[in-house]
Amino acid sequence: MIRPFLVGFATTLRHIFKKPITVNYPEQKVPVFPKYRGKQVLMRDEHGLEKCVACGLCPTVCPANCIKLVPGEDEQGNRYPLVFDIDEFRCIFCGYCQEVCPEEAIHMGRHYENAEFNRARFVYDLERLTAQTHPVSELWDPAHPRGE
């Protein structure tokens, strides 16, 4: 009768002085793994233009069919995205879009706080994707681990 009590008490004593592994979210945040795949970031070049050349590879490879791309072309024949939307509700965060991009224009981001009050807000357009400031995932690109 007393033995289970002592065992339980010993377990409590063993844990009572250990550092807690819980955090006071959202004031405190758990750092995410460097290869974490979260909300994408679209990169700009040194002139502030989108690095994306609207090649169409990422919407082609996307298994969730959640990237909408409408390509445009300027007078010099340079291609750029007129429309680039990602439906983050459908995205499965596989990272194929980053892996396939020949321009390193799209990167998975180390970001998980995607809560919204409206479904339509989960569709990120070109402006929102290029405005993301969170760090990017280090997956598959050891030469440019931060997507620079």
Write out the residues near ligand SF4 by the rule CB under 6 A.
52-58, 62-64, 66-67, 69, 86, 91-97, 100-101, 103, 105-106
Q: Residue 69 or 136: which CB sits closer to ligand SF4? A: 69
In the complex, what is the shortest distance from the CB of residue 42 to ligand SF4, in angstroms, rounded to a whole number?
7
* SS3 of residue 40 by DSSP: strand
Nearest distance from residue 57's CB to ligand SF4, in Å? 4
Smallest gap from residue 83 Cβ to ligand SF4 (A): 11
- Bridge partners of 79? 73
User: What is the rounded CA–CA span in Å between residue 110 and residue 38?
Assistant: 5
Whether the Cβ atoms of residue 95 and residue 140 lie closer than 8 Å to each other: yes
Nearest distance, CB of residue 127 and ligand SF4, angstroms: 15
Query: Which residue, among 56, 127, 63, has the nearest Cα to 95 in the 3D structure?
Result: 63
**Which residue number, 24 or 76, has a Cβ lying nearer to ligand SF4?**
76
Token reading at 111: 């970001």
Cβ-based nearer residue to ligand SF4, 100 or 145: 100
Query: Would you say 15 or 138 has its CB closer to ligand SF4?
Result: 138
| Residue whose CB is less far from ligand SF4, 53 or 145 | 53
Q: Kindly report the CA angle at 50 between 53 and 42, in degrees rounded to 5?
A: 100
Structure tokens at 79: 């291609």
Distances (CA, A) of 90 to 67, 70, 86: 9, 19, 8
Residue 125 beta carbon to ligand SF4: minimum distance, rounded to whole angstroms: 14
